[in-house]
Amino acid sequence: MSCNADLAEPTALHQRAIRTLEKQQKVLAARLRPQRDPRPGDGVCPTHEQYHEVTTRSRESWQALLVHAKRNSEPIDMVIQLMELLKNVPAFPKAALSEQLSTLNSYALMVECASEWVTTNDPECDRPVKIMRHYQILGIPRPVSYHLSDIQPTVQSTEDKHFLPLIFAWSYILSAHWVEALKSSGLDAQLLHDDISTQNFWEFIQKQQWRAVVLHDDVLYFSPWSLLRSGERLKYARKTPLRSPSVSSCANSSNSDHPIPASSTTQSALQMLADVCTTEELFQQSIIALAVVMMLPSRAYKKTVLLPQRSPSIDLKGGATATGKSTFDELSSNLDKCITLSCSPEGIDSLLCSVFFDPAVSCNLIGGQMTGTMEALLPLHEGGKTFLRVISKQFPKLVPLWAAAICIHEAESIFGKCAGGTPPLDLPVASWTGVVESFVQVHYSSDGLAADELLRAEEWRNMYLITAERLPPFSPSPPFGKTDESNLNIDIRKHLRHDHQLLSYRMYWILKTGEKVPAHLSYTSMPTIDAAIEATCPRSLTVDNRYAVNDRTRHLGTNVCSPIDNTEDASCNATFNTFFWFQNVEEGLWLSSGSESSSDVREVMHHRWITEGEEEDDVDNPEDDNDKVDYDLNHLEEWLSAIEDEDLDGNLDDLETLPSMFR
């Protein structure tokens, strides 16, 4: 058989060659894969001194904040802080557009957006703008399932009595406003329910006798804030045309449902909510309830969400009723901004996690940082009251979101994401709110750099900012180490003199035609953040196999670096995610700073925290004789025979004989 046979067909020869090549590659991968556990001071894993220093600093910093918060407690103004958070958030489009919004059907109905950052003012730069496409949740396939907290107040206060109805009210108000916005954007949305009046409003929303829906490509989606109690069936005629008067909009309704104008419903519901908040002085509790509802879209995939039956135990600011109502009215006029922030898939969680982001802690030290943080904070005392006081001092505009997270028992989940080294990241949301979430928002410096060296954090930050249409880093924390400028990507070397950083921001809504509609009237300035970081990851001169933590060496006790015992996952996850991102964006990875030997570089690059090794899979098993096929000898057959006759654990470095068709 000629070696010029059509190998597009899955011939036995082709399959045999591929199997042999895969086997060869597995052996090579196994030889390069590290055969020991990470060890303190091995060039990636931090030394014991580094870990202890970061852990202690983090623990003492949070402990000091807690002590100060206990001694200097002030009432928290939720209304003002949520308004501050929403100040630069783009409003969801409500005015009539020339075309429908560009949408994507996945688990949920998504709308396409584009974020645009100006990164330099240098007129000589040919890449002054960074663009990133992303999506907002527009509709969910089923209402968010919820169950009520088992904890009920023994003595029900006015706040306790109204808190759950406040949540239901905001669920209805955001959904009604969503219908209004979608209809004006050309989408087929409806708000369906019985007649509503001032007499039956609160009973109506607590029984959830309504549904806000949109029909898109013959699929029915619900508003992202729709709720359905766990265990209850959703009786909804999905196949009935949306505008048909026979559509049954809720399980508890016995009358014919009919669509009513969403705009009038939204305003009426807002007025009734404002009246209750004025009479009962519930403006602050109402903001926490709104924050709870804003967290629902990102939790639509969860089995159930817990809703509280009592008001959170927080020192809230009172104030004059007239002032509170005025501020509340201003907030109500910004419902479009609430929708945008709420519908960012991981936006709110990324803001919650940002309170633990320290730009001066590199990815391989996250385990130490979060160990100190969790030692200081957990368990949350007084229902999280002291922790919220700390947040109100350090990150005031995030207090409403954290109060909501504690209220629905999501604080533990947020802590877990951060302690595990996997906090979510949302650069557009960070840009809207002025919150620092990622090392790409930070300008780094170090005293330990030579004139021809660059921090790896700076190298990778610049690479991201000058590369179009790339995903942001998978981990917020900066990479460790430095790079010799001679090893830099040509583009990075060219753009270093342009001083790229996130200067200003603007977002666009994308229409079906591809046209971009600006969500911001003008660019929003970005905060300038500077941080110092170590230029190297110190190596321990005493590192050897005695310090590898495993079943054989665990008895060494204090000689073993503690992060490898309990917090390796956090540092490993953060480091792997950071380096994996760069490897995919740059389509390669070389971690030389210019001074190490090739063997040291190779050891770091194949460290378990850097590269995920493949499992060895029968690399020594000979090929079954039944798989062999007799063919005429040719170049390919000679190569196969030579490989099969070799000991696969022997010398496989020379691959020059590999047929060109398989290279």
Over the chain (663 residues), what is each successive 10-residue block's mean pLDDT? 36 49 49 54 82 94 92 82 93 76 84 93 94 93 89 60 92 93 85 77 85 90 94 57 34 38 69 87 90 94 86 65 64 89 95 96 93 89 85 93 93 91 93 94 89 91 86 90 86 91 93 88 82 74 40 32 52 90 74 67 78 48 45 55 52 44 40
DSSP letters of 123-156? TT-S--EEEEEEEEEEEBSSPEEEEE-S---SS-
**C-beta pairs of 619-627 under 8 Å, 24+ apart in sequence:** 619/23, 619/26, 619/27, 619/30, 619/648, 619/649, 620/648, 620/649, 623/16, 623/19, 623/20, 627/12, 627/16, 627/19
Pairing of strands 210-216, 109-118: unpaired
Measured between alpha carbons, how far is 274 from 45 in angstroms, rounded to an integer? 55
Q: Report the 10 Å Cβ neighbour count for 343.
A: 25
Final residue of a structural domain among 309, 326, 348: 309
| Angle value at C-alpha 80, between 525 and 506, nearest 5 degrees | 20
Block residue for tokens 């959170």: 312
The answer to whether the CB of 423 falls within 8 A of the CB of 417 is yes
Dihedral of CA 248/253/254/259: which sign?
negative
Q: What gap in Å lies between CA 209 and CA 641, rounded to an integer?
A: 74
- Give me the domain span that covers residue 654: 12-31+615-662
On whether the CB atoms of residues 135 and 345 are closer than 8 A, the answer is: yes
Count of other CB atoms within 10 angstroms of residue 616: 12
Q: Is 186 contained in some domain?
A: yes
* Sign of the alpha-carbon dihedral angle for 316, 318, 323, 329: positive
Lookup result for tokens 């009237």: 521
pLDDT 10s digits, 199-215? 788 888 888 888 999 99
The answer to whether residue 516 is domain-embedded is no
Q: Are residues 152 and 27 in the same domain?
A: no
Q: How far is Cα 191 from Cα 143, in angstroms, rounded to an integer?
A: 14
Residue ending a domain, choose from 287, 309, 331: 309
Enclosing H/E stretch for 524: strand 524-525
Which strands sit side by side in the sheet containing 144-148, from one edge to the other?
Answer: 227-229, 144-148, 305-307
Instruction: Look at residue 240 and tell me if it is in a domain.
Output: yes
- For helices 366-377 and 568-586, the axis angle rounded to 10 degrees is 140
Q: How far are the Cα atoms of 177, 213, 260, 329 from residue 196, in angstroms, in the given order?
A: 16, 18, 10, 22
Six-digit token string for 38: 């990470």
Give the helix/strand (H/E) hosting 443: strand 442-445
Q: Which of 282, 309, 336 is at the close of a domain?
A: 309
Residue 182 to residues 92, 96, 295, Cα–Cα distance (Å): 9, 10, 20
Q: Give pLDDT tens digits for 386-442.
A: 899 999 889 999 999 999 999 999 998 999 999 999 899 999 999 999 999 999 999
**Integer CA distances (angstroms), 308 to 151, 285, 289, 408, in order:** 8, 12, 10, 6
Between CA 272 and CA 282 the distance in angstroms is 13
Q: What's the Cα-to-Cα distance from 534 to each of 134, 464, 576, rounded to whole Å? A: 33, 21, 19
Residue 135 lies in a domain: no
Q: Are 482 and 453 in contact (CB under 8 A)?
A: yes
Cα(353)–Cα(425) distance, integer angstroms: 9
Separation in Å, CA 52 to CA 308, 550, 645? 39, 21, 53
What are the tokens at 484?
A: 């010799």
Mark whether 157 and 299 lie in a shared domain: yes
Is residue 632 a part of any domain in this protein?
Answer: yes
Classify residue 277: in a domain, yes or no: yes
602 assigned to some structural domain: no
Handedness of CA 49, 52, 54, 60 (dihedral sign): negative
pLDDT at 258: 41
Residues 170 and 302 in one domain: yes
DSSP 420: T
Question: Would residue 413 count as lying in a domain?
Answer: no
Task: Say if residue 161 is in the same domain as residue 302.
Answer: yes
Q: How many domains does the chain have?
A: 2
Are residues 161 and 296 located together in one domain of the fold? yes
pTM: 0.79
